[in-house]
């Protein structure tokens, strides 16, 4: 194993002149963006599941018709299948609006904060936390991949 006393690689070292308070604020901002990424994933899940359910409803309509329940099948077919999930919108339109509006602004402002306050460096708080928590010199506690034993 190489000497890993250097700590994080240069991409994760706090630039000269950046205060601990700034590193903490950027860490909190990063954590918020991670929650937004999770929410975005759930929104895409909602989109996919709603679409799958709409296709399944089509199968149910076919089966109801085959079983002799044409009136109920017709109602599901005309009132529910293909219906907007929110006034004027299918789920793809919700996803697009989220991505192009709120999500795009979140990503832009988080990048701007990193660029202006920390020379664009990411995860400075986490890198500091890793240094505080790892056992230096111990296998599986290496600072970087370059510190792995050969």
How long, in residues, is the chain?
Answer: 150
Q: State residue 2's pLDDT score.
A: 44
Q: State residue 5's pLDDT score.
A: 57
Q: 1 pLDDT exceeds 60?
A: no
Query: pLDDT tens for residues 79-136?
Result: 999 999 999 999 999 999 999 999 999 999 999 999 999 999 999 999 999 999 999 8
CA trace torsion 61, 63, 65, 69 (10° rounding):
-90
What residues does each domain of the chain span? 20-50+85-135
What average pLDDT score do residues 51-61 get? 98
Longest dimension (CA), the chain: 76
């Amino acid at each position: 194993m190489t000497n890993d006393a250097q700590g994080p690689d240069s991409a994760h070292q706090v630039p000269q002149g950046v205060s601990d308070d700034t590193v903490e604020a950027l860490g909190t901002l990063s954590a918020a963006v991670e929650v937004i990424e999770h929410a975005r994933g759930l929104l895409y899940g909602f989109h996919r599941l709603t679409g799958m359910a709409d296709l399944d409803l089509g199968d149910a309509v076919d089966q109801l018709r085959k079983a002799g329940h044409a009136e109920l099948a017709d109602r599901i077919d005309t009132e529910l299948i293909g219906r907007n999930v929110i006034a004027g919108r299918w789920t793809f339109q919700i996803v697009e609006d989220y991505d192009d509006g709120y999500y795009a602004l979140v990503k832009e402002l988080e990048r701007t904060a990193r660029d202006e306050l920390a020379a664009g460096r990411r995860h400075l708080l986490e890198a500091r936390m890793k240094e505080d928590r790892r056992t230096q010199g111990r296998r599986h506690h290496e600072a970087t991949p370059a510190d792995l034993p050969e």
